[in-house]
Amino acid sequence: MNDSSVAANGIGMTSQRTRDRLITRLQEQGVRNFEVLEAIRSVPRHLFVDEALAHRAYEDTALPIGHNQTISQPFIVARMTELLVEGGPLERVLEIGTGSGYQTAILARFAKEVYSLERIKALQEKARKRLRDLRIHNVILRYADGSVGLEEMAPFDGILAAAAPAEVPPELLQQLAIGGRLVIPIGEQDQKLYRITRTEEGFQREFIEHVRFVPFRSGLR
């Protein structure tokens, strides 16, 4: 999309220049993976928030999406995607917390199939429409509590949690393939992002950085 077609849509602030500025910022913050940066550049984040917030979509910040939830900050989406992608090829990926569907759309570019679980029906329905409008077809959305993962589709090469539980749900570890990676924020006040890789011998846990996510909750809404 060029600047004039964007202006024709009445949302000039979503222009290529605004997006390029975001990419520069992500690079300055240490995102190195070229394909991840390209994915962030080309997925239209302004379509994943309400129109009233579209002008802020290319700021590097989380934004409200209703129901006390947020669309994740672009930096964290880029970082988590990079952490999953670095570890090897991704055939089947599980995401917990579809939310707006933005991270899902990014993951869809790197995996053959993305299963994404969401416990708030209204958010899931909006996400489904957006992904359909963008013709992203390798994504399967499920209205489900992600605390127990998705046993029937396991094992996964990658699992990404977009909400923070107090402890790692053991089911998610069990649903990783050998070599598979779980990227997950853990904790309540003081949250830490981890990448946990399943090896032949067990699990290898790497601390990545301090983060701030919405809480992981059980049950459906």
Catalytic site positions: 72
Task: Candidates 1-9, 140-148, 172-180, 203-211: pick the segment binding ligand SAH (CB under 6 A).
Answer: 140-148
Considering beta carbons, is residue 12 or 145 the nearer one to ligand SAH? 145
Check residue 162 for interaction with ligand SAH (CB under 6 A).
Answer: yes
Interface with ligand SAH includes 216 (CB under 6 A)?
yes
155 preceded by a cis bond (ω within 30 of 0): yes
Q: Measure the CA–CA gap between 221 and 213, rounded to whole angstroms.
A: 19
Residue 28 CB burial class (10 angstroms; 0-12, 13-18, ≥19): exposed
What is the distance, to the nearest Å, from the Cα of residue 55 to the centroid of all Cα atoms in its chain? 21
Q: Total number of residues binding ligand SAH (CB under 6 A)?
A: 25
- CA-CA distance, 32 to 41, in Å (whole number)? 14
58 binds ligand SAH (CB under 6 A): no
61 lies in the site for ligand SAH, by CB under 6 A: no
d(CA 106, CA 66): 21
Output 15 or 216, the one with its CB closest to ligand SAH. Answer: 216
Q: What is the x/- site pattern for ligand SAH, positions 171-210, by CB under 6 A? A: ----------------------------------------
CB of 147 to ligand SAH, least distance (A): 5
Instruction: Give, as ranges, the residues between 4 and 43 that touch ligand SAH (CB under 6 A).
Output: none
Dist. CA 126–CA 200, nearest whole Å: 40
Q: Should residue 148 be labelled a site residue for ligand SAH when binding is judged by CB under 6 A?
A: no
- Where does this chain bind ligand SAH (CB under 6 A)? 65, 69-72, 96-97, 99-100, 102-103, 117-120, 123, 145-147, 162-163, 214, 216-218
